[in-house]
Amino acid sequence: MKSKAIIQPDYPFKVFDPVIQKSISFRQVSFEKDLGMLHSWMHQKHVIPFWKLNISLKDYKVHLMNFLNDDHQKLLVGELDGIPMSYWESYWVKDDLIGNYYEFNEYDQGIHLLIGHEGFLGKGYIYPLLMTILHKKFQVAETRKIVAEPDIRNEKMIHVFKKCGFQPVKEVVLPDKTGLLMMCYRNVFERRWTDWQNKLWM
């Protein structure tokens, strides 16, 4: 049984972050508009080790279309001031592979992400982006936790997840990687969100 589409967060949406002085927005992936861009991102040297999708354009077309047609997830492009710079997969755990690795609840959600444009690396943007989309995902009232399973080698991303309120649970051997299963509970995130918002507007 698939999760009901009506409880999914709505996209696109936009907020302004006064610390980085940029608008943060998320929109759904368009096959026609984004295929070439996403394919090029998958060939970036910082992306290849963790996504392993540095494949031909022909093969990536098939991959992207299959993912867009998979209704347990939404594919998103994250933008700063309207410039596409990151890729996100927002999904329901109950219909995802990771649901085989822990006892999930009906409305658990998950997230995958990457910064595609190398010009946005190392500038502290991923934290406000991740905080923003987590806040959006927790607007689904039934969701009590959000999971992630970054590659255990991806220390920078694990650090960012922890900063946003994720707690390490265990290593999981997935078909394409060994990941670190991490969970972010609503009450923990809400405290992080409140503290962050207070700092933003001080």
Q: Which residue has the tokens 């047609």?
A: 69
For residue 13, pLDDT beyond 90? no
Average pLDDT over residues 166-185: 97
For residue 2, pLDDT beyond 60? no
Q: pLDDT at position 9, please?
A: 64
Q: pLDDT at position 24, please?
A: 96
For residue 37, pLDDT beyond 90? yes
Cα–Cα distances (Å) from 74 to 1, 32, 46, 61, 123, in that order, read: 17, 16, 23, 17, 26
Q: pLDDT at position 4, please?
A: 45
pLDDT tens by residue, 43-54: 999 999 999 999
Average pLDDT over residues 25-45: 97
Give the other-Cβ count within 10 Å of 172's Cβ: 17
C-alpha 176/C-alpha 165 separation (Å) is 25
Looking at residue 42, its amino acid is M
Cβ-proximal residues to 67 (8 Å cutoff; 6+ apart), any chain:
73, 75, 89
For residue 1, pLDDT beyond 50? no
pTM of the model: 0.92
pLDDT tens by residue, 88-142: 999 999 999 999 999 999 999 999 999 998 899 999 999 999 999 999 999 999 9
Runs of H (alpha helix) within the chain: 31-41, 48-51, 57-68, 126-137, 155-163, 186-200
Q: pLDDT at position 201, please?
A: 60
- 86 and 114 in contact (C-beta within 8 Å)? yes
pLDDT band with cut points at 50, 70 and 90 for residue 199: low
pLDDT tens by residue, 62-86: 999 999 999 999 999 999 999 999 9
- 86 and 78 in contact (C-beta within 8 Å)? yes
- 134 and 164 in contact (C-beta within 8 Å)? yes
Please state, rounded to an integer, the average pLDDT across all residues of the chain: 92
Helix, strand, coil percent content, the chain, rounded in steps of 5: 40, 30, 35
Residue 89 has phi, psi (to 5 degrees) of -120, 115
- Cis, bond preceding 12 (omega within 30 deg of 0): yes
pLDDT band with cut points at 50, 70 and 90 for residue 196: confident
